[in-house]
């Protein structure tokens, strides 16, 4: 990696402003899942142990530039205090005298959490005055928030114009794994795509046609491809305006000798509901009107598992079916297991955040993959081959 990381800079006696991802779910002022806080601990602890004064910045939810108490980072600061053995202070402002006083009172090895960055209108607009202000509080910026790397905001990108910006450990790991898949994947490179919409995945598929050996397509998006091939898909979810795009993708794949593998059967129901009557239909025989495919079927699970069995690199984004409902979760679970199986044989497996990461969690498999990305949108844009502003802004290693 040609980017500076937190290990490349001297942190002793330095004020370090660190952009982390503390965007955790909160209900009635209680954190319901603290995974993201725990995930940020290694980088925070490292800075503390090196003797830095650590100032933490994060967004939480979408308060849209308003000071909205339900999105306060206070509960997060309190949870952090329980998880780390050093003083953690919280200031309920994003700038001004109170913030400056708290920073000036901070001792080496202590932590200050500043209020939600998105209480500032200028945060998502990458306002230069705001970025300069935050930069003025510190000597070094550490960027450990991969989930926002596809956005140019003041706290991750703007700030890097004024002080050096280095990657934290989470960011470093994301860049390492996603670059490995994008730049020199071990072959066969098998990609598994699912989820709701083809339209979200067009750019990534087009880029992957130059890198992958095989692309397996499940989820609702499979039906747009199947309909483009003239199959009867009944009442399954189809993006009618993307049929031509799907056709072009299939033609380009053929020309580039990338194998696109589509489902051969589906588990269908008449309603997207737990307990609804289910039937398995073979794609070649067609799905009757009134029935919608909500998961891949058992033969497809077998086919996809076989297509995964020799993989040396796997990227998986998007569930194979409506995995939130147990009746339609089998396909996603079995494919996740098939990816775990090849991982055990030395394949590098990357789960692309969002719903696929949630599915991996749900099945208790998250620890079994080589890497579960913390950024759904960011990891997709990375694999689209785009330069992410929140990575471009990190200082380059010179030597
Ligand atoms: P995405 O955000 O694009 O990854 O899409 C994830 C969503 O797609 C999940 O909420 C799934 O329930 C949904 N999904 C997956 N397969 C299907 C399907 N066959 N029909 C309808 N929705 C689906």
Residue-wise pLDDT for 101-157, tens only, equals 999 999 999 999 999 999 999 999 999 999 999 999 999 999 999 999 999 999 999
Query: Residue of the nearest CA to atom 18 in ligand 1?
Result: 220
Q: Is the pLDDT of residue 399 over 80?
A: no
Ligand 1 contact, 196 CB (< 6 A): yes
CA 10 to chain centre: 30
State yes or no: pLDDT of 363 exceeds 90.
yes
Given the CA of residue 200, which atom of ligand 1 is nearest to it?
3
The answer to whether residue 327 scores a pLDDT higher than 80 is yes
C-alpha to C-alpha distance for 23 and 375, rounded to whole angstroms: 12
- Binding site membership of 297 for ligand 1 (Cβ less than 6 Å): no
pLDDT in tens, 236-261: 999 999 999 999 999 999 999 999 99
* Residue 372 β-bridge partners: 351
* Whether residue 197 lies in the annotated active site: yes
Q: Decide whether any atom of ligand 1 lies within 6 Å of the 293 Cβ.
A: yes
The closest of 72, 110, 111 to 94, measured between CA atoms, is 72
The pick from 234, 300, 319, 351 for probing ligand 1's pocket by mutation, whose C-beta has the most ligand atoms within 8 angstroms, reads 319
Q: Is 174 exposed, middle or buried (0-12, 13-18, 19+ CB in 10 A)?
A: buried
Work out which ligand 1 atom sits closest to the CA atom of 321.
Answer: 16
Q: Is the CB of 220 under 6 A from ligand 1?
A: yes
Phi, psi of 6 (to 5 degrees): -60, -25
Task: Say what the pTM is.
Answer: 0.91
* Whether residue 324 has its Cβ less than 6 Å from ligand 1: yes
DSSP, residue by residue, 256-283: TTPEEE--SEEEEESSSSTT--EEEEET
Give catalytic status of residue 36 as yes or no. Answer: yes
The chain-wide mean pLDDT, for the chain, equals 96
Distance from residue 396's CA to the centre of ligand 1 (Å): 38
Which pLDDT score, from 0 to 100, does residue 231 have?
Answer: 98
Pocket test for ligand 1, best of 194, 219, 227, 283 (most atoms within 8 A of CB): 219
Question: What local confidence, expressed as pLDDT, does residue 1 receive?
Answer: 84
Residue 28's pLDDT is: 87
Mean pLDDT within 59-74: 96
- Residue 220: count other Cβ atoms within 10 Å of its Cβ: 23
Catalytic residue among 147, 218, 354, 376: 354
Q: Which atom of ligand 1 is nearest to the CA of 293?
A: 19
Q: Which of 174, 208, 207, 204 is closest to 190 using CA atoms?
A: 208
Q: What is the mean pLDDT of residues 209-222?
A: 97
Q: Is the pLDDT of residue 90 over 80?
A: yes
In the block, tokens 């030395």 appear at: 346
Please state, in angstroms and rounded to a whole number, the distance separating the CA atoms of residues 75 and 92: 11
Q: Using 50, 70 and 90 to split pLDDT, how confident is the model at 365?
A: very high
Catalytic residue flag (residue 354): yes
Confidence at residue 354, expressed as pLDDT on a 0 to 100 scale: 84
Average pLDDT over every residue of 366-392: 93
CA 342/CA 219 separation, integer angstroms? 21
Q: Give the residue, 376 or 12, on which the prediction is more confident.
A: 12
From 192, 193, 196, 360, give the residue whose CB has the most ligand 1 atoms within 8 Å, as the site to mutate: 196
pLDDT on residue 104: 98
For position 398, what pLDDT does the model report?
85
**For residue 80, what pLDDT band results from cuts at 50, 70 and 90?**
very high
pLDDT digits (tens, 9 = 90+) for 153-175: 999 999 999 999 999 999 999 99
Whether 377 is a known active-site residue: answer: yes
Distance CA 251, CA 255 (A): 6
Query: Which residue's CA is minimally distant from atom 21 of ligand 1?
Result: 220
59 pLDDT more than 90: yes
Residue among 19, 36, 95, 237 flagged as catalytic: 36
Q: How confident is the model at residue 288 (pLDDT cuts 50, 70, 90)?
A: very high
Q: What percent of the chain has pLDDT over 70?
A: 100
Q: For residue 344, how far is its CA from the centre of ligand 1 (angstroms)?
A: 28
- For a mutational test of ligand 1's pocket, the pick from 191, 192, 193, 194, i.e. the residue with the most ligand atoms closer than 8 A to its C-beta, is 194
């Amino acid at each position: 990696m040609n980017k500076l990381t937190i290990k490349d800079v001297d942190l002793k006696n330095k004020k370090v402003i660190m952009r982390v991802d503390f965007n955790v779910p909160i209900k009635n002022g209680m954190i319901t899942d603290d995974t993201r806080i725990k995930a940020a601990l290694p980088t925070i602890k490292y800075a503390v142990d090196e003797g830095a004064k650590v100032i933490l910045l994060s967004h939480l939810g979408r308060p849209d530039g308003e000071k909205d108490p339900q999105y306060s980072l206070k509960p997060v600061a309190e949870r952090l205090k329980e998880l780390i053995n050093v003083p953690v202070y919280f200031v309920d402002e994003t700038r001004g005298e109170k913030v400056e006083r708290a920073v000036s009172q901070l001792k080496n090895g202590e932590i200050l959490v500043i209020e939600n960055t998105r209480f500032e209108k200028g945060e998502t607009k990458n306002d230069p005055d705001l970025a300069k202000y935050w930069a003025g509080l510190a000597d070094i910026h550490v960027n450990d928030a991969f989930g926002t790397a596809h956005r140019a905001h003041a706290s991750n990108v703007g700030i890097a114009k004024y002080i050096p910006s280095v990657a934290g450990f989470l960011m470093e790991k994301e860049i390492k794994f996603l670059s490995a898949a994008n730049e020199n994947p071990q072959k066969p490179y098998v990609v598994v795509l699912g989820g709701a919409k083809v339209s979200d995945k067009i750019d990534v598929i087009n880029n992957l046609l130059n890198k992958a050996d095989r692309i397996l397509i499940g989820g609702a998006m499979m039906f747009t491809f199947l309909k483009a091939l003239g199959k009867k898909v009944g009442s399954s979810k189809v993006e009618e305006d993307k049929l031509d795009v799907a056709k072009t993708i299939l033609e380009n794949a053929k020309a580039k000798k990338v194998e696109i593998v589509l489902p051969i059967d589906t588990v269908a129901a008449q309603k997207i509901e737990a307990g609804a009557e289910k039937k398995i239909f073979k794609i070649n025989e067609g799905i009757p009107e009134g029935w919608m495919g909500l998961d891949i079927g058992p033969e497809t699970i077998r086919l996809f598992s076989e297509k995964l069995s020799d993989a040396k690199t796997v990227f998986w984004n998007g569930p194979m079916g409506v995995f939130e409902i147990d009746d339609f979760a089998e396909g996603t679970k079995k494919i996740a297991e098939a990816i775990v199986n090849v991982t055990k044989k030395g394949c590098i497996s990357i789960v692309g955040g969002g719903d696929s990461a949630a599915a991996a969690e749900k099945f208790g498999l998250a620890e079994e993959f080589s890497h579960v990305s913390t950024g759904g949108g960011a990891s997709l844009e990375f694999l689209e081959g785009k330069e992410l502003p929140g990575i471009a802004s990190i200082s380059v290693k010179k030597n």
